[in-house]
Chains A and B, each alone.
Chain A
Amino acid sequence: MSRPIEIRTSPHLKRARTVPQIMLGVVWALLPICAFAVFQFGLSALLLLVTTTAVAMGTEYLFARLSGRGNTLNDWSVVITGLLLGLTLPPGFPLWMAAVAAFVGVALGKSLFGGLGFNVMNAALVGRAFAQAAFPVAITTWTPGFAPGRFQEPIPSTLTPPLMQPIPVKDWIGGLNIDGFTGATPLALQKFQHIEVSGLDLFTGMVAGSAGETSALLIMVCGLWLAYQRLLDWKIPVGVMLGAVLIALPFWLLDGGVYPTPWFVLCSGGLMLGAWFMASDMVGSPETPWGALVYGLFIGALTVVIRLFGGLTEGIMYAILLANAAAPLISAVTQPRVFGTRKERRS
């Protein structure tokens, strides 16, 4: 009765996850959202995602080479940046502008700080913020989803020649014969005309908006998978949603005719995508447990404040960028007490 002795490591010892593993997990989680974006907006969304990802990778490669860091593409992080950027842009966004945004996002938001791990802010949002500042009209031009023939030809403005103004999409939208499409996102409708799109449509993504932010349900499912895999800190998205609801609820109770319902606040615009995929970016968020929650609450609250009282319809982008900047401070003030020590008042 001799059996060969089987040698195993103790079950509680695990190999630490490597950076490429984590990043690849996030890429997998983003793919369903990308697929839905392509399904909803057709060829344009595909071209947009390919462009932002390719330019982001090219920029990363170029700057890594120039600064002598070798090839940094294989950690997959820049792919996330490219995909996220593409998902936050309107589907008919001219490709050359998307390329500019991707270049600026990666170069200014990441490479100049020294690459992955050193960037202060989410690179995709830096790129989007630049595009918002440079091309404010193009980035708020929305086109309807589920257009007939969307897989055969792209939205006309997508193929705008470089440096030129976007090709007008008004005639194209008119030719689609879609009733009641005003070119306004649910957020804009709510803000300026106090018309609330039905919650179910928002949840499932049957509305106008950026390429990948329309379906709150899908984003949440993908995000939950990431959280289940421990690839993101669940406290951050929860904090964002909680913060948004906490600010939105009193206003809605006060005057439901003017202010949106908390459900609408959660499901509209980029809040879901921001909460699950951008705010939770490990580099830009605080590493302490309480810090993560505070950081999330801050983002959610600020987003709703910007939406309700700011000139813009959407505020998640600036909220996350600001919170990224504040993250080191949040970490510093929420340092947990080291076990066995007394709380000391620092001089």
Chain B
Amino acid sequence: MAETTQPGTGAKPTADPFNRQESLTADTFLRGLWQENPVFVMLLGMCPTLAVTNSAINALGMGLATTFVLLGSGALVSLLRHLIPKQVRIASYIVIIATFVTVVDYAIHAISLELYASLGAFIQLIVVNCIILGRAEAYASKQRLLPTLVNGLGMGLGFTLALLSLGSVREILGSGSLFGYPLFGEDFQPWLVMVLPPGGFFVLGAWLLLFAWLKQRRERRPLASAGATSHG
């Protein structure tokens, strides 16, 4: 959304504010990581965020698969952006996205049977992840190849980062390990709820709370720094 609100420096003076070209800046990449993080800020892609983050490995696999699809579909959409007629653009995007999802599905299956089994249907469901369609519609279809790739990479890594932050917390509490390495030894008491679906909601809520609180604090600080208590 920010490209519609921020006056870009390299914008061509066109009548339609949605159709301006963006010049490549560091912000193109960083936006997806933090300012417009798909999970923590835009709250998109909730289905995989909640469903497959019960371990760090699953979260990483899902995040990278989504990043790959974002990059591939973004590149193709961007290259074909002048060819695709407006009336059939959504259909075209879906076909393109589905193509890359199928490719990544085969790839994960070939790389690791275990990861494939634990991600299950959620790999195929990347097709309907609104982050990807949203990027294709709002960004790739209007921008040149390079900014699209950089922006897609930022978004994908932002998504991966968010999934990882959920997945690690859930794995540490739910199984007492991180990336499969046990952290607490034999006697650890797993918090079962954390590896079950409700755990996804709890941890996501906790992260959102933390970020909202940090943001609020940053905004309040110039006004009154008295309320800043140290907080472990």
Binding site for B on A (CB under 8 A): 65-66, 68, 94, 97, 100, 108, 112, 130, 133-136, 138, 160, 163-166
Contacts and interface: CB of A to CB of B under 8 A. Distances in A.
Interface stretch (B24-32, B99-107, B131-139, B181-189): B181-189
A165 B187 contact: yes
B47 interface: no
Contacts of A94: 189
A251 B196 CA distance: 35
A309 B202 CA distance: 29
B220 to A, nearest CB: 9
Contacts of B34: none
A163 B188 contact: yes
Contact of B227 (A68, A100, A112): A68
Interface string B156-183: 0000000000000000000010000000
B198 A133 contact: yes
B125 interface: no
B229 A135 contact: no
Interface string B187-212: 11101111010100010000001000
Contacts, number: 37
Nearest to B192: A134
A130 to B, nearest CB: 7
A165 B193 contact: no
B231 interface: yes
Interface residues of B, number: 17
A66 B191 contact: no
B196 A133 contact: yes
A165 B192 contact: no
B189 A164 contact: yes
Interface of B: 176, 184, 187-189, 191-194, 196, 198, 202, 209, 213, 227, 229, 231
Contacts of A166: 189
Contacts of A164: 184, 187-189
A100 B193 CA distance: 13
Given A66-B213, A112-B209, A165-B187, A136 B231 contact: no
Contacts of B194: 134
A94 B188 CA distance: 13
17 contacts: A66-B213, A66-B229, A66-B231, A100-B191, A108-B202, A112-B209, A130-B193, A133-B192, A133-B196, A134-B193, A134-B194, A135-B192, A138-B189, A160-B189, A163-B176, A163-B188, A166-B189
A135 B173 CA distance: 12
B229 A165 contact: no
A136 B231 CA distance: 31
B192 A136 contact: yes
Nearest to A160: B189
Nearest to A94: B189
A135 B189 contact: yes
Contacts of B196: 133
A153 B219 CA distance: 52
B9 to A, nearest CB: 39
A178 to B, nearest CB: 27
A133 B188 CA distance: 16
Nearest to B174: A134
A129 to B, nearest CB: 9
Contacts of B193: 130, 133-134
**What 8 A-B pairs are tightest by C-beta distance, nearest first?**
A133-B193, A134-B191, A134-B193, A165-B189, A164-B187, A165-B187, A134-B192, A164-B189
Contact of A165 (B188, B198, B202, B209): B188
Contacts of B184: 163-164
B172 to A, nearest CB: 10
Nearest to B220: A68
Contacts of A163: 176, 184, 188-189
Contacts of A130: 193
Contacts of B188: 163-165
Contacts of A100: 191
Contacts of B191: 100, 134-135
Contacts of A136: 192
A133 B209 CA distance: 22
B88 to A, nearest CB: 44
Contacts of A165: 187-189
Contacts of B231: 66
Contacts of A134: 191-194
A164 B188 CA distance: 4
Contacts of B213: 66
A100 B194 CA distance: 13
Nearest to B229: A65
A163 B209 CA distance: 24
Given A66-B229, A135-B192, A163-B184, 13 more contacts: A66-B213, A94-B189, A97-B189, A112-B209, A133-B196, A134-B194, A160-B189, A163-B188, A164-B184, A164-B188, A165-B188, A165-B189, A166-B189
